[in-house]
Structure 1
Amino acid sequence: MSKIKTFFALLVLSVFTLTLVGCGGGDGTKTKAKDEKIIIKFSHVVAESTPKGQAALKFKQLVEEKSGGKMEVQVFPSSQLCGDKEELEALQANNVQLIAPSVTKLVGFVPAFQLVDMPFLFASDQAAYNFYDGPFGQKLMRSLEPKGMLGLAWWPNGAKHFTNSKRPLKTPEDFKGLKFRTQSGGLLDAQFKALGAGSQTLAFAEVYQALQNGTVDGQENTFNNIDTQKYVEVQKYLTVSSHGRLDYVVLTNTKFWNSLTPEQQQLISDCMKEATAYERQLADELNNKSKEKIKASGKVEIYELTESDRAAFIKALEPVYKEYTDKIGKEYIDAARASK
């Protein structure tokens, strides 16, 4: 019996020794891992036909081409992999490596992301893009790192505009007594309160019916959303205001990012930059087409705010800035206002 025990002990020792020689220590393990194909799961909640969906596919194409097939990007659109509520948790757990949530979903992690809701902050779409690409926009994305996330790019959806069923909205006084749908409370509630209007938080899918049955009088959205959601059927007036934004941030998680070599990180960053330019072009084109389609429909009366109109709104909304500048960060507010 003792001979059998001795035989098995020697066998185990031999296998252990061969294993050490075969791995060649830590370097051998790293080399093997480095040579394996890297799988990147990109989950998002919109259709492939949207600017976000098309840009995700563009990113996939670029990464796979430039990596020579050493990286594979698997894109899961329309909540196929993660729903709206689960995607942030899935990213932090490294179950997915890329998501592109609405900026407002990040406010709970970093309050400064409320910046996109600040009324009449950005002078134009290009001013917003310049802020996003500048030092403060990049700093804001990096502020998520303590939460295990890292921002890679800002993907715009577009500027918001007001619609309602009661009257033309040309001055702050025109808002008094009306009720508007908002996608979240807090700052947006303060915006309408400063204008003398009420607000109600409703899910995106509930907006059309709420406008139709008069639960709310109006809403704020991009041209493309106003068009595709057919709000012109239940609204009479559109004010081209560009007062706030509906944009996305493309996020990865720090566990995945830190597992990459500097060369791999640079490749992903370069491909993301190219995909971002593509996404912005698509978003601009889509909103412009929808604006023209809304005009051509003749179903709504359209008023475009002048510079003096905007100045009147900015003055009326000073209480919002007094309440939220410190919460967001004065440096971010000043940088956004300075963007051209």
Structure 2
Amino acid sequence: MNLNRRHLAAAVALTLAAATPLAGFAADIKPRLIRFGYGLNEQSNQGRAVKVFADAVEKASGGKMKVRAIGAAALGPDTQMQQALIGGAQEMMVGSTATLVGITKEMALWDTPFLVNNGKEADALLDGPVGQKVMAKLPEKGLVGLAYWENGFRNLTNSKHPVNKLEDLNGIKLRVMQNNVFLDSFKTLGANAVPLPFSELFSALETGTVDGQENPFNTILSSKFYEVQKYLSVTNHVYSPWIVLVSKKWWDTLSKDEQKILMDAAAASRDYERKDTRDEAGKALAELKAKGMQINELSPAETARMRDKLTRINAGVAANVGMDLWNETQAELARIRTSK
């Protein structure tokens, strides 16, 4: 009896010893799945950059982390995805900083008209101490920011005349986003600002319900606004960033090595996406010109006049985000502009 028990125990031990490596191996090869949501389609600058991110994560993790890219707003608009991340129902997303203002008020800093003059200034500000300080406000709200991507500079189109100077905006019925900063800014500049959903914009331009609108070159081209708009004024009045976000609930379950893989991939995709977006914007502008749009560029002197006119708007943004952050931003921009 004792002998049989010993044989049985030995057999069980052998079975467990044989099974354990197999079970461990099965656990090792099951990748950690990351659902990454975004609003545009797979062929967009967003879609291309998400693929760069996904490939970098898979390669650096040796296949142990796998990103499932889900575009075309299939997981909902930015605001819905943000809540899914906060609740831990979704791992990652990329979206507009403007839609985060209700969650983290400091994100309103990026809505400031004429805050930066060019992409180099935007990169330095976003990737520097100010951008990181704003991003550092996210974890307390259940989100983690990894990198800022680029949506682009917004520019004016209309069907009346070129906007070469501040006075040219007087009386133009201009569709703007349903956002108080945008509404107040263009009213202050003399336009008749009309809030309208983007989905209604083309028909409103076509029927003359509004005279003009403002968006990045890529959007003006893809939305075929050149069919109903004659004049394109390069104003670069607002720089719009996107931000790569992670659910903090999920982030906290990752090892330091896994977190580093995601941070490194986010930085690589950021650099790729900014170059891709700028290249695409340059091509879009050339194509808009080829399609017959009359293009003019706002002079630095007129940009300064518009910026001065918006002092009250900027004061409102400053009060909203906090004077310390505002003053730090202005000091950092002065440093960026004087450094070689």
- Residue 192 of structure 2 corresponds to 198
Which 4+ residue blocks in structure 1 deviate beyond 4 angstroms? Answer: 32-36
Q: Does 1:92 align with 2:86?
A: yes
1:73-152 matched pairs, under 5 angstroms = 73-152=67-146
Q: 1:45 aligns with which of 39, 44, 47?
A: 39
1:159-178 matched pairs, under 5 angstroms = 159-178=153-172
Per-residue deviation, 1:233: 1.2
Q: Does 1:213 align with 2:232?
A: no
1:275-290 matched pairs, under 5 angstroms = 275-290=269-284
Q: In structure 1, how many angstroms separate the alpha carbons of the residues matched to 2:332 and 2:108?
A: 12
Per-residue deviation, 1:85: 4.6
Q: Structure 1, residues 119-174: CA drift from partner, whole Å, max 9, x if none? A: 11101111111111001101111211111001111110110111111121111111
Q: 2:306 aligns with which of 294, 313, 323?
A: 313
Per-residue deviation, 1:112: 2.3
- Residue 231 of structure 2 corresponds to 237
In the superposition, relative to structure 1, how do residues 83 and 305 fare at CA in structure 2: closer, same or farther (>3 Å)? closer
1:281-300 matched pairs, under 5 angstroms = 281-298=275-292, 300=293
Per-residue deviation, 1:277: 0.7
- Structure 1 runs not aligned, ≥5 long: 1-21, 23-31
Q: Does 1:326 align with 2:322?
A: no
Per-residue deviation, 1:82: 3.2
Q: In structure 2, how many angstroms separate the alpha carbons of the residues matched to 1:89 and 1:335?
A: 34
Query: Is the Cα–Cα contact under 8 Å of residues 226 and 232 in structure 1 kept in the other structure?
Result: yes
Q: In structure 1, how many angstroms separate the alpha carbons of the residues matched to 2:109 and 2:62?
A: 39
- Structure 2 runs not aligned, ≥5 long: 1-15, 17-25
Q: In structure 2, how many angstroms separate the alpha carbons of the residues matched to 1:336 and 1:205?
A: 38
Query: Is the Cα–Cα contact under 8 Å of residues 160 and 220 in structure 1 kept in the other structure?
Result: yes
Equivalent AA in structure 2 for residue 245 of structure 1: Y
Identity %: 35
Greater Cα offset, 70-79 or 84-93:
84-93
Query: Is the Cα–Cα contact under 8 Å of residues 172 and 316 in structure 1 kept in the other structure?
Result: no
Please, what TM-score do these two structures have when normalized by structure 1? 0.86
Say which SS state the counterpart of residue 155 (structure 1) adopts. Answer: strand
Query: Is the Cα–Cα contact under 8 Å of residues 84 and 90 in structure 2 kept in the other structure?
Result: yes
- Residue 12 of structure 1 corresponds to none
Q: Structure 1, residues 240-295: CA drift from partner, whole Å, max 9, x if none? A: 01110232111001111111111111111111111111111110111000011111
- Residue 303 of structure 1 corresponds to 296
In the superposition, relative to structure 1, how do residues 336 and 304 fare at CA in structure 2: closer, same or farther (>3 Å)? farther
Q: Does 1:337 align with 2:333?
A: yes
- Residue 4 of structure 2 corresponds to none
Say which SS state the counterpart of residue 109 (structure 1) adopts. Answer: coil
Q: Structure 1, residues 39-78: CA drift from partner, whole Å, max 9, x if none? A: 1110112101111111111111111111011111111111
Q: In structure 1, how many angstroms separate the alpha carbons of the residues matched to 2:91 and 2:331?
A: 30
Q: In structure 2, how many angstroms separate the alpha carbons of the residues matched to 1:49 and 1:35?
A: 31
Q: In structure 1, how many angstroms separate the alpha carbons of the residues matched to 2:162 and 2:260?
A: 50
Q: In structure 1, how many angstroms separate the alpha carbons of the residues matched to 2:307 and 2:333?
A: 12
In the superposition, relative to structure 1, how do residues 316 and 203 fare at CA in structure 2: closer, same or farther (>3 Å)? same
Q: In structure 2, how many angstroms separate the alpha carbons of the residues matched to 1:252 and 1:259?
A: 12
Q: In structure 2, how many angstroms separate the alpha carbons of the residues matched to 1:33 and 1:196?
A: 64
Say which SS state the counterpart of residue 251 (structure 1) adopts. Answer: strand
Q: In structure 1, how many angstroms separate the alpha carbons of the residues matched to 2:70 and 2:105?
A: 28
- Residue 23 of structure 2 corresponds to none
Number of matched residues?
312
Equivalent AA in structure 1 for residue 297 of structure 2: E
Q: In structure 2, how many angstroms separate the alpha carbons of the residues matched to 1:108 and 1:291?
A: 33
Equivalent AA in structure 1 for residue 250 of structure 2: F
Say which SS state the counterpart of residue 47 (structure 1) adopts. Answer: coil
Please, what TM-score do these two structures have when normalized by structure 2? 0.86
